[in-house]
Amino acid sequence: MKTDTGFFSALRAQVEDSNRLFTGNFGRAALCVAALAVGVAAGCGSGGTTTSGGGGFNGGNTLMTVVASSAANDQLTRFSLTLNSLTLTEKAGTSVAVVNGPQQVEFIHLNGGAEPLLTVSVPQGVYTAATATVGGASFTCAVQQQGSDTTSTYAYGATPSSQVTVNLPQPLMVSGDTMAVSLQLLVSQSASFPSNCYDQGAQYSITPTFNLAAMTVAAQPVNSTNGKMTALEGLVQSTGGEPNSFTVASADGTPVGSTMSTVWRVNTSGNTVFQGIGNAEGLTAGMPVDMDGMLQADGSVLATRVAVPDASTTTLTVNSGPLDQVTSSVSILSEVNQEAEGSQMYISGWPVFNFSNTTLATWGGLTNVASLPFAASFNAANMVPGQMVAITTHATQVEPYPTVVPATVETLMPQTINGTVEAVGTAGAFTTYTVELAPYDLFPQFAVQAGEPTVLTNPQTVVVYADTNTQVVTAPSAGSVARFTGVIFDDNGTLRMDCTQVLAGVAE
C-alpha cells in the first residue's frame, strides 16, 4: 500500500513508489500489503492472431476477437491485472484455451469503454462455461483524510484461481467466420477494502469477476457496446508494413511493448482525421497516439481519428490519470496514474509535474465544443483536481525536491463518472442532466483544497450536456444512477461535461 500524507514532503516517496509500481514490483510496504510481481510470466504473445489447438466441434473454426471493458462506480482510480489464461468449455466438456499467455489490462480507464485484447481461432460450438487465471493484480483508491491526501494501493502477487469468476449470462455460440466477445470486469464485485480507502491493518481482497458475452459489432459502430473504440492510448510500434497501416502497443502493458502489452493493428482511410500530424506516413516508432476507431472482423482497428499529442520521441514518457492536486502559486500538479508509457518508466505511478511552461490542450475527439451553451476551456486558471489528463514529459532524470519534472503537453481527456441523476432539463439543443456524485468521488474530495486555481461552487455536482452526437445506450431519468462519459470542464466553479456516451449506472 502507498499512502501520501503531504504534497511536497512526499515528493521523493511518490517518485520512488512510482518506480516500484510500473517496473513490475511492489515492495512490501510497512502497512503489510501483499507484494505484487506484475511481470512474473514471460514468453507469451500479445495482441496478434493466435490459434487454438484441435479441430472445430462443427467442422470449422471461428476467428474470435476478445474485447476488454469494465463496469465501475467511482470508488477506484485504478484496477490492473495480468490475465494469464481464459478457457472456454464446450457443452460436451471439451476445453479450449482462448488466452494462454499473460495479457496486462488496466480496467478503470475502460469503464464504459472498450479496447481489443486479442484475436484467436476458436473451434465452433456451444460453450457453457468459462474459467480464467490471474497473475498479479492491484487496485488503487484515493481519499482526503483530515486535510491530507491518502492514495492506497492494494495488491496480490498472484490471485488464487478459486477467487476468479467468469460468468456467461447465456451460452456462448461460436459460429461463422468471425465474431467478437466482451470480457467485462465487474469492478465492485472484484475488490473489497475499507470504506474510507485506508485503515491501519485493513482487510481487503481481490476477486476478479468477469462477464463474458457475445458482442454484436456493427458495420458502422456508434458506441462502445457495438464496436466503437474511443481514446485508445499507446505508442506506435511499427509502420510501413502496409500502406496506411501501423501497429500500436497499448498503454496497458508494463513496460509498453513487452510480451504482456496488447498490440493493435491499425488501418487508416481517406476519412481518417489526423491531429498533430499530417497523415499516417508521418508516424514513427515510439510516437504516442490517441485514437478513435471501429473494430474490424479480423480484430484490427479502422481509425477514424489519430492524434499525436507530442511528436518528439526522445526520452518520452506519457502518464494518464486523474489529477489529485493543483497548486497554482507554484504551478505544480500531481495525478493518480492509470497508465504509463515511454522510455522513462521511472517517471510514473503518482507523478508530480511543473506546468508553468506546459502546452495545455483538450481532447480532439469532441466535435461540438463551439455549440456548447457555456465556454468550454482548459487552462491554468481552471484546472481542477478530478479531471482526467494525459501528460507528456521528456525529463531524463528525477531530481530531489524542489526540482519537479516539467510537463511538456497536458491534454484534458474524457472520463466516465457514475452518479445519481437529480434533474433533467434542456439548454438550447442540449439535454442536461444534473448528476450528483458519491462522496468518495475525486471531485468532492480533492477539488476543495487551499491554493487551487478555482474553488468549485458545488464539487459534488456535474451538469452533463448531451446532444445528437451523444450515444445514449441507456436513457437516464431523474432518480436513476447512470454512467456518463465525456470531457469535464470547470466553468467558473461549476463542473460541466460535454457528453459522448450514456450507459446504465453501477450501484454506489
Side chain identity, residue 507: A
Choose from 5-19, 245-259, 296-310, 438-452 the range with maximum mean pLDDT. Answer: 296-310
Fold of 415-504: OB fold (Dihydrolipoamide Acetyltransferase, E2P) (2.40.50)
pLDDT of 23 reads 28
- What's the distance, Cα to Cα, between the start and end of the chain in Å? 24
Q: Cis omega before residue 208 (within 30°)?
A: no
The CA distance from 183 to 186, in Å, is 10
Kindly report, residue by residue over 1-30, the tens digit of the pLDDT. Answer: 434 434 433 333 333 333 333 223 222 232
DSSP string, 234-282: EEEEEE-SSTTEEEEEETTSSSTTSTTS-EEEEE--TT-EEESSSSGGG
pLDDT of 119 reads 96
Side chain identity, residue 281: E
Residues 6+ positions from 191 with CB-CB distance below 8 Å:
76, 79, 139, 154, 204, 205, 206, 207
Residue 307 has pLDDT above 70, yes or no: yes
Q: How confident is the model at residue 111 (pLDDT cuts 50, 70, 90)?
A: very high
More confident residue, 296 or 7: 296
Q: Work out the average pLDDT over 488-497.
A: 97
CATH 3.40.309.10 for domain 228-307, yes or no, is no
DSSP string, 472-506: ESS---TT-EEEEEEEEEEETTEEEEEEEEEEE--
Query: How far are the Cα atoms of 92, 153, 200 from residue 194, in angstroms, in the given order?
Result: 43, 12, 10
Residue 104 has pLDDT above 60, yes or no: yes
Q: Work out the average pLDDT over 379-390.
A: 96
The CA distance from 135 to 85, in Å, is 9
- CA dihedral over 442, 448, 450, 456, signed as positive or negative: positive
**Residue 44 near residue 101, CB atoms below 8 Å:** yes
Residue 84 has pLDDT above 90, yes or no: yes
More confident residue, 54 or 69: 69
Q: Work out the average pLDDT over 275-298.
A: 96
> What are phi and psi for residue 243, nearest 5 degrees?
-60, 135
- CA dihedral over 29, 33, 37, 38, signed as positive or negative: negative
The CA distance from 243 to 263, in Å, is 18
Query: How far are the Cα atoms of 257, 302, 320, 438, 470 from residue 420, in angstroms, in the given order?
Result: 39, 35, 26, 8, 19
Burial 105-132 (b: 16+ CB within 10 A, else e): bbbbbbbbbbbbbbbbbbbbbebebbeb
pLDDT of 280 reads 93
Question: Where do you find CATH 2.40.50.120 in the chain?
Answer: 415-504
Three cell numbers written together for 106 = 488496466
Q: How confident is the model at residue 371 (pLDDT cuts 50, 70, 90)?
A: very high
CA angle 342, 344, 356 (to 5 degrees): 95
**Residue 380 near residue 504, CB atoms below 8 Å:** no
More confident residue, 337 or 133: 133
pLDDT of 499 reads 98
Residue tagged 504509463 (cell numbers) = 340
Q: How confident is the model at residue 255 (pLDDT cuts 50, 70, 90)?
A: low
Share of the chain above pLDDT 70, in %: 85
Kindly report, residue by residue over 199-247, the tens digit of the pLDDT. Answer: 777 899 999 999 999 999 999 999 999 999 999 999 999 997 788 999 9
Q: Work out the average pLDDT over 363-378.
A: 97
SS3 of residue 21 by DSSP: helix
Question: Where do you find CATH 2.40.50.320 in the chain?
Answer: 228-307
H-helix or E-strand spanning residue 62:
strand 61-71
